[in-house]
Structure 1
Amino acid sequence: MFLKVLTHRQARWAEFHFSITYRPGRLATLPDSLSCQDNVYPERGEDFIRKNTMNFQQLIKKDEAQPSRYFSVKVDSFSNVIESIQRTLWQDSQYRSILQELGKGKSVQDYSLDSSSQLLLLKDQVVVPNDPTIQLSILQKRHDSPLAGHPGQEKTLKLVKQDFHWSGMTQFIKDYVSSCQ
């Protein structure tokens, strides 16, 4: 038995209780999306791919040779958020004293200052100042974007906690996701 990582949509469906049963075509009363074959009509471009397999394989190899392009897309999507954090972090009274202590070379438990980006880190998470605009921007990128797929509260919290930390984050995310339609 293999464990499979669920997509955001599958994780969302996991909240519901349903069963899928096989019904032969002759017993089905009306065709629906689950009982119809999805490959009856070829997709646009499939014919080209079948006829030009070498070209298609070369395109795949070309894209595989440049993985940094995909990484830069991810970084660029948060670049304006990172810049906002860098601008406003020193203005936040909650973190100003920690930044001053770290600037003097003293150690503060679990906090560190990233020398290249000048971001305050709590363990390995970027500390976000108490600015609802920045927090909302992060949350929109991790919950509302098509890549995120509108996950539930726990999954969204987990996605945001991978990289960011701010005071009251759990309640902020729960309020936001519960208001999401």
Structure 2
Amino acid sequence: MSLENQSASSSSNPSLYPLSETEHGFSFTTEQGATYRLDFTSDSDYLPDTPFADSVYSFSILPISGSFDRKDPRIEPTIVQALHIFFEADPKAILLYVCSTENGQERVRSRLFRQWFSRHQQGGYERFDFNYPDQGLYMSAIVRSDLPERWLIELTILQAVEQNK
């Protein structure tokens, strides 16, 4: 992943926090001093017997240090920018996001992520939700809309989730 185009994007949207590259993705620090890590981790074992196994990644938003302000309006566009950079680097990627069950807030996290996606959806991506409230599992997959096998990917993930729940 490369931050080459970030400066152009940031200058047109000054509300973004600057992203720094890390071993598995990016990090950024808010005005209040909170540091977040955005990890994109290979998850090829999730769909091992498929032709797209090597394209599967897990996405994590990890609060690392500082005082976290959930109402900070600059966090959302910064995370969205990181997602765009990720998909530019790997257009065939399948990005899985499982909402943390910490504090029993997985449903709230899922709703927030869905709202972010809807606000920033420009027709270039598809999101598939796999929600099982009884088990506390809220998971989404994001792929580019121009990926020919996107419906096969959705079906394959659904089958894997159903087998493992």
TM-score above 0.5: no
Q: Which is greater in Rg?
A: 1
Which has a greater percent of strand?
2
Provide TM-score, normalisation by structure 1: 0.25
More helix by share: 1
